[in-house]
Chains A and B, each alone.
Chain A
């Protein structure tokens, strides 16, 4: 069962330098009770994809085409006041920088309560109780006292827990986490990831997890989509992806891990740089960096080839396998 269906989604921006195709013809589905990871480097369009799903981009100026269906409702082109009923209540979002995602002028309690008061018809007292209960659930010590404190009095890890709490206080069906642990230290990252996984098991929320860190993905995800230059290049289950990555870009990413046994040797790397968004190459967008680039790769964009069940690759190397 899928909760969100994204089909041929395009999010483009007009800039002085030309049209930026930040998300270009992306399709995926989010299934019930799963953690779907979208992985890619900076500028690959992973954040824009989820911002589009959340309805955070104004259109125009952004150009959004395609469809995003959430439980039978089409989100693309939905009126802002209707979107508000879904945003926060049905689909919640956790942002990357906990320090800048909170308003420094309000207490964390006020900010968490606001979200609840918009979506639930409750009196102030029960809202406060509900939020404090959530704070306790995510492991904030002295939640009662913390409720009336300001963001600057909190550490990054604590704020990220609060963000999770305030998002989950509205009991959303879908949680979008945009690099939730990137700004945190490894020991705190481990705590937050464990917390998210435990809460997911308990509440059954589906999660879209955006990250650039394949190590984090290996710990938490059920399925992975790899994005490069506005396209999803490979979709697979987490086990398949780490066992049998097919796309040269995915393989490159996996190889660029710093393995302990490579000490003193040259590290494998992907040559070249990520292309800028307004000058994507023709054909497959990875072709200038790809070790296997063929003539067709320069000309034509590869479609998704299904090489196994639930495993598709957008790469001409796998032409001949069943095309979807």
Chain B
């Protein structure tokens, strides 16, 4: 195992008035459990505002969780609890092992740094190479590794297209040979024809570097392609979780079903969107509904759904859904 989270919660305070008193909370994450194994791809899928990005940021320590525990296992298998004040040594190890690729390749690269500077920074911080020559050779190797030319190291990010910038981000993420990369919508800002190139590159790198991906996306087809295991999120909670094949072939939660039906099926002879009967929009995370978060839109809603929030219930091996329909 690389990481494990238990009952992770993240509330963002809303401050109002002259004295900035806390007037409420945006409840971005509600008691989410997850774990990710060595060389495993965990896909997180959901619509905007479901908390998938927040989860990714909590586990990379960009955000401090409001409550819950986050556990990290170092390469020797020792467990460390990740929190604000942890030992410098553990922190460094953790930072090196867990890297991140961001959604927007236009704002995630410093415009004042050359590509070489961007790739050199992590190597210097972690003192990977002692000589300048070795560092430069490694940077050239990294650029080639992600399909760019070594000469590019003197250029600035604005000289590149979106796809090329995302390759630079990937090079930066793999520079320290991490064991896990959090990919937050790595292709959603890219053109269709470039998207597949990046996905192929990520898969190829994984084969060679033996990494895990924590893969966040709103695109079901993409998550299906990349992930071994999938978590479907809605309004800060996990609705369904399981082996990728299982979730797609034996979709159980009413929300996941609607989500799958809403994806256009690329076949003008069999148009399917008319059949999507989902009214309304996701409720606000500031004031989520009582009980199951999906109860305001669910076609199968029952009395109990409005009163009590369902736990994740086992449907089969490696497949769970948080829905009262499956309570025996």
Binding site for B on A (CB under 8 A): 41-42, 155, 157-158, 185-191, 193-194, 197, 212-216, 218-219, 221, 238-239, 242, 252-254, 256-260, 262-263, 266-271, 273-274, 276
Assuming the A-B contacts A155-B281, A158-B281, A257-B266, are A267 and B200 also in contact, with contact meaning beta carbons closer than 8 angstroms in the complex?
Answer: yes
Shortest beta-carbon distance from B295 to chain A in Å:
16
Cross-chain contact B262 with A189 (CB below 8 angstroms): yes
Given A253-B193, A274-B193, A258 contacting B221 (CB threshold 8 A): yes
Range, interface on chain B: 35 or more
Known: A186-B259, A239-B269, A253-B193. A267 touches B264 (CB 8 A): no
- In the bound complex, CA of A270 to CA of B197 (Å): 8
The answer on a CB contact under 8 Å between A215 and B268 is: no
**How far apart sit A157 and B281, CA to CA, in the bound complex (Å)?**
8
**Chain B: minimal CB distance from A234 (Å):** 15
Q: Which residue of B lies closest to A156 (CB)?
A: B48
Is B265 at the interface (CB under 8 A from chain A)?
A: yes
**Bound CA span A263–B268, Å:** 24
The prevalent SS among residues of B at the interface is helix
Quick check: is B328 within 8 A (CB to CB) of the other chain? no
Question: In the complex the two chains form, is A260's CB within 8 Å of B221's CB?
Answer: yes
For B161, what are the chain A residues with a Cβ–Cβ distance below 8 Å? Answer: 273-274, 276
- The answer to whether B266 and A274 touch across the interface, beta carbons within 8 angstroms, is no
Query: 21 A-B contacts, Cβ less than 8 Å apart?
Result: A41-B191, A155-B281, A186-B262, A187-B259, A215-B264, A215-B266, A219-B264, A219-B272, A221-B268, A239-B268, A239-B269, A242-B267, A259-B221, A267-B200, A269-B195, A269-B196, A273-B161, A273-B163, A273-B194, A274-B161, A276-B161
Select from chain B the residue with minimum beta-carbon distance to A155: B281
Contacts of B194 in A (CB 8 A): 269, 273-274
A260 partner residues in chain B, CB cutoff 8 A: 221, 224, 248
Chain A nearest CB from B291 CB (Å) reads 20
Is the pair A242, B278 in contact by a Cβ cutoff of 8 Å? no
Cα distance A260–B249 when bound, in Å? Answer: 11
B191–A269 CB distance below 8 A: no
Name B221's closest neighbour in chain A (CB-CB).
Answer: A258
Total A-B Cβ pairs within 8 A: 117
Residues from chain B with a CB closer than 8 A to the CB of A267 are 196, 199-200, 225
| Residues of chain A within 8 A of B286, CB atoms compared | none
Interface residues of B in 193-222 (CB under 8 A from A): 193-197, 199-200, 203, 218-222
Which chain B residue has the least Cβ–Cβ distance from A254? B266
Q: How far is the CA of A158 from the CA of B261 in the complex (A)?
A: 21
Closest to A262 in B: B225
Chain B residues within 8 Å of A242, by CB:
266-269
Closest chain-B Cβ to A236's Cβ sits at a distance in Å of: 11
Closest 6 CB pairs of A and B: A215-B264, A269-B196, A258-B221, A185-B47, A270-B193, A41-B191
| With A194-B276, A273-B194: A238-B263 Cβ-Cβ less than 8 Å | no
Closest to B271 in A: A219
B14 within 8 Å of A (CB atoms): no
Bound CA–CA A239/B278 (angstroms) = 27
Is B258 part of the binding interface, using a Cβ–Cβ cutoff of 8 Å? yes
Q: B267 near A256 (CB under 8 angstroms)? A: no
CB neighbours (8 Å) of B164 from chain A are 273
Contacts of A269 in B (CB 8 A): 193-197, 200
Verify B274–A215 contact, CB threshold 8 A.
no
B126 shortest CB reach to chain A, Å = 32
B191's contact among A42, A191, A268, by CB below 8 Å, is which? A42
- Which chain B residues numbered 229 to 258 have a C-beta less than 8 Å away from chain A? 244, 248, 258
Q: How far is the CB of A182 from chain B (nearest CB, A)?
A: 11
A256 and B266 alpha carbons, distance in the complex (Å): 12
A34 to chain B, nearest CB (A): 14
Query: B192 interface residue, CB < 8 Å from A?
Result: yes
Query: What residues on A are CB-neighbors of B274 within 8 Å?
Result: 194, 197
Residues of chain A within 8 A of B195, CB atoms compared:
256, 269
**Contact present for A187 and B276 (CB under 8 Å):** yes
